[in-house]
């Protein structure tokens, strides 16, 4: 029986590329502002996997004119399944003991993960990867492993047919690229600008082009045929191409984000091609860049990149509070990364490597004890001590988050007793299941008090005085705040006429609607759960036809996702009628990656249009956890009243 994996040349530079990719993904999931495109790291992994798997299979075919499919699939299973099973088991046990709120989601997520169909499970259950409120599933990241495993099952069969009937490698590569083009075209066709891109992000059909681009590279650039002896000119070309492509990948991770239409209409294909060029350089034995990226630290991280990918997401999600209006803690992020690295090392040392080389018998305690050296015992003792310390640290983070949430909820309960909803306002509150845009990554429903999908209210208010200051600059200047602080006093709201004022928003607007109606009798409010900014133009046109579009318009949008400058400009163009004299735009506080993008776009628009006044809700709500419901997005009565006070003050 052939042993292709053992005969395959080790390419240390590719471990460095793995390290680069997993760092990008971890930074993205930590919600680091300067790596909004960190999700592109998954695409890098896809191209890399397509190249390596096809390179192995093609070299085996060249030697034996056949594949040993059973051997291939068993090796893949021994490499991937044990570490994933261990992670899933420990996550389930953790949730059983510590965090029961995530258990309902795991009922579906665990079987989907074990069967490697997580991506289709999330698609069919409309679970967003980006626009999710409520507890995130700690297994939400396994969608990408599902895509790869599905590729591993099907691709060897298709490749065997291709190698048999298309012996010329250039022709075979052309057919593979044709399949990749179909997948990329499908992504572009299915993508809808301004909507949640999760369907095209998850789908095997819309993501397989990256794996196929890597596969086509392996057909025309087999690692076994690359020679170390090349001319100085060729070596220089390799290094220039390698450095250039690495720089481009870093630039795109720094400057792109998940809501840019460019990504889904050719951008991800471009990234896959750039990655393939970089892999071609790093796979070449004459590459000096491969030596740099193959340095010991990056090689160490690259070898453990699979374990780090498995563990970082559950560590981050299980130790992060849903309600947090303070800036991300660098210390907390460092602890999360440290615990993830420790778990990745444990997985590598005691699960992945033993099973990969000795098979499943290595898990037997008697076998491990018989083969344990004194150095191994020392390593084990050190790891146990470090693991206990790290577990204590992460448990402290979770306990702190729970205490903060409890303090916030206690303040909310007090606010609900002291400042009940206005008595003379018709009921706007209802327990409403979230739409897909506001559902959790885990598929869980988070019941939140919200208003009816649309509301037009006219009521007599009680006169009150606002107390919260409003910044009209709209700049995205994040302020550090104390983690523990006294609950803010619920602001009182002045009363002004609402005649000639229209408000358009999403579910946050519905939370505020009773208080706006109380403070501004005659105001027209149009709110809808899950509304995106791209839907607002239709609302403006409808209000205009009905004669309800006021000369002052309040816009509260961006809770459910980002938008492009062009989409915002189109909405503002619809409001450029002579009747609209003033536009009040409220920026957003939403613990999601698009928060800063939305606020910056609104700030830029205000700088270009003199009619626009920005209400800086982001700054006004900083440190005020008591304003928010458990999802960290929707408003409790105290938050809704504070929000309304800012709006009224801006209109006075």
List of long-range contacts for 223-230, beta carbons under 8 Å, 24+ apart: 223/8, 223/9, 223/11, 223/55, 223/59, 223/283, 224/9, 224/55, 224/59, 226/283, 226/284, 226/285, 226/286, 227/285, 227/286, 228/285, 228/286, 229/286, 230/284, 230/286
Contact between residue 478 and residue 462 where contact means Cβ atoms under 8 Å apart: no
Q: Which of 142, 260, 629, 588 has the alpha carbon at shortest distance from 434?
A: 629
Kindly name the residue from 507, 621, 626, 638 that is annotated as catalytic: 507
Tokens representing residue 261 in the block: 């239409």
Q: Which of 378, 309, 361 has the alpha carbon at shortest distance from 80?
A: 309
> How long is the chain?
652
- The DSSP secondary-structure symbol of 439 reads S
d(CA 248, CA 123): 31
Tokens representing residue 117 in the block: 């169909």
Residue listed under structure tokens 């005085």:
465
Kindly name the residue from 132, 596, 634, 638 that is annotated as catalytic: 634
Please tell me whether residue 463 adopts helix, strand or coil conformation.
Answer: coil
Kindly name the residue from 109, 196, 511, 631 that is annotated as catalytic: 631
List of long-range contacts for 109-114, beta carbons under 8 Å, 24+ apart: 109/137, 109/139, 109/140, 109/142, 109/442, 109/443, 110/139, 112/142, 112/146, 113/84, 113/88, 113/139, 113/142, 113/146, 114/85, 114/88
How far does Cα 559 stand from its chain's mean position? 15
Please tell me whether residue 194 adopts helix, strand or coil conformation.
Answer: coil
Positive or negative torsion for Cα 203, 205, 207, 208: positive
End-to-end CA distance of the chain: 82
- Note if 631 is an active site residue: yes
d(CA 353, CA 429): 55
Q: Tell me phi and psi for residue 613, to 5 degrees.
A: -115, 130
d(CA 121, CA 328): 31
SS3 letters across 502-527: EEEECHHHHHHHHHHHHHCCCCEEEE
Bridge partners (DSSP) of residue 526 are: 504
d(CA 292, CA 302): 13
d(CA 292, CA 294): 5
Please tell me whether residue 430 adopts helix, strand or coil conformation.
Answer: strand
Residue listed under structure tokens 């009040």:
584
- Starting at the edge strand found earlier in the chain, the sheet holding 501-505 runs 455-456, 524-527, 501-505, 552-556, 582-586, 612-615
Query: Which run of H or of E encompasses 448?
Result: strand 448-450
Q: Which of 253, 308, 258 has the alpha carbon at shortest distance from 38?
A: 253
Catalytic residues: 507, 631, 634
């Amino acid at each position: 029986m052939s042993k292709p994996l053992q005969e395959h040349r080790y390419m240390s530079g590719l471990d460095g590329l793995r390290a680069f990719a997993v760092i990008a993904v971890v930074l993205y999931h930590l919600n680091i502002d300067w790596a909004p495109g960190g999700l592109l790291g998954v695409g890098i992994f896809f191209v890399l996997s397509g190249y390596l798997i096809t390179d192995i299979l093609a070299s085996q075919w060249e030697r034996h004119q056949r594949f040993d499919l059973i051997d291939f699939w068993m090796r893949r299973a021994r490499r991937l399944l044990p570490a994933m099973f261990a992670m899933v088991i420990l996550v389930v046990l953790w949730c059983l003991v510590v965090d029961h709120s995530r258990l309902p989601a795991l009922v579906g997520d665990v079987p989907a993960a074990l069967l490697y169909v997580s991506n289709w499970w999330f698609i069919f259950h409309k679970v967003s990867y980006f626009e999710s409120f409520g507890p995130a599933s700690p297994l939400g990241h396994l969608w990408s492993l599902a895509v790869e495993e599905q590729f591993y099952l099907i691709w060897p069969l298709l490749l065997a047919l291709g190698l048999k009937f298309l012996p010329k490698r250039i022709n075979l590569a052309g057919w593979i690229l044709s399949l990749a083009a179909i997948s990329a075209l499908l992504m572009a066709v299915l993508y809808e600008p301004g909507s949640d891109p999760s369907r095209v992000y998850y789908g095997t059909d819309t993501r397989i082009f990256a794996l196929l681009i890597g596969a086509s590279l392996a057909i025309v650039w087999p690692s076994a045929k690359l020679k170390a002896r090349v001319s100085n000119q060729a070596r220089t070309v390799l290094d220039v191409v390698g450095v250039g492509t690495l720089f481009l990948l870093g630039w795109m991770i720094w400057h792109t984000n998940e809501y840019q239409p460019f990504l889904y209409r050719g951008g991800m294909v471009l990234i896959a091609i750039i990655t393939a060029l970089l892999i071609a350089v790093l796979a070449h034995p004459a590459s000096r860049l491969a030596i740099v990226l193959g340095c010991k630290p990056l090689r160490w991280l690259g070898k453990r990149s699979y374990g780090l990918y498995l563990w970082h997401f559950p560590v981050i999600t299980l130790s992060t509070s849903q309600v947090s209006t303070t800036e991300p803690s660098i210390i907390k992020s460092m602890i999360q990364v440290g615990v993830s690295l420790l778990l990745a090392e444990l997985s590598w040392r005691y699960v992945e490597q033993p099973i990969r080389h000795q098979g499943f018998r290595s898990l037997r305690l008697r076998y491990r004890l018989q083969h344990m050296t004194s150095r191994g015992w020392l390593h084990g003792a050190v790891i146990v001590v470090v693991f206990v310390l790290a577990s204590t640290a992460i448990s402290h983070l979770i306990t702190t988050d729970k205490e903060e949430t409890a303090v916030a909820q206690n303040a909310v309960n007090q606010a609900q007793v002291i400042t009940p909803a206005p008595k003379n306002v018709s009921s706007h509150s209802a327990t409403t299941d979230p739409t897909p845009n506001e559902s959790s990554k885990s598929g869980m429903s988070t019941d939140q008090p919200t208003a009816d999908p649309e509301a037009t209210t006219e009521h007599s208010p009680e006169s009150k005085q606002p107390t919260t200051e409003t910044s009209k600059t709209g700049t995205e200047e994040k302020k550090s705040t104390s983690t523990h602080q006294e609950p803010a006093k619920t602001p009182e709201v002045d009363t002004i006429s609402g005649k000639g004022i229209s408000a358009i928003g999403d579910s946050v607007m519905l939370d505020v609607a009773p208080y706006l109606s109380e403070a501004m009798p005659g105001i027209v409010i149009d709110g809808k759960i899950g509304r995106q900014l791209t839907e607002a133009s239709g609302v403006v046109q409808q209000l205009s036809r009905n004669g309800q579009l006021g000369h002052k318009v309040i816009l509260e949008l961006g809770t459910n996702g980002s938008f492009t400058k062009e989409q915002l400009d189109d909405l503002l163009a619809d409001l450029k009628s002579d009747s609209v004299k003033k536009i009040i735009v409220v920026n957003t506080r939403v613990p999601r990656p698009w928060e800063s993008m939305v606020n910056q776009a609104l700030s830029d628009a205000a700088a270009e249009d003199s009619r626009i006044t920005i209400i800086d809700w982001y700054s006004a709500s900083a440190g005020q956890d008591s304003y928010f419901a458990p999802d960290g997005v929707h408003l409790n009565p105290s938050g809704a009243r504070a929000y309304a006070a800012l709006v009224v003050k801006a209109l006075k």
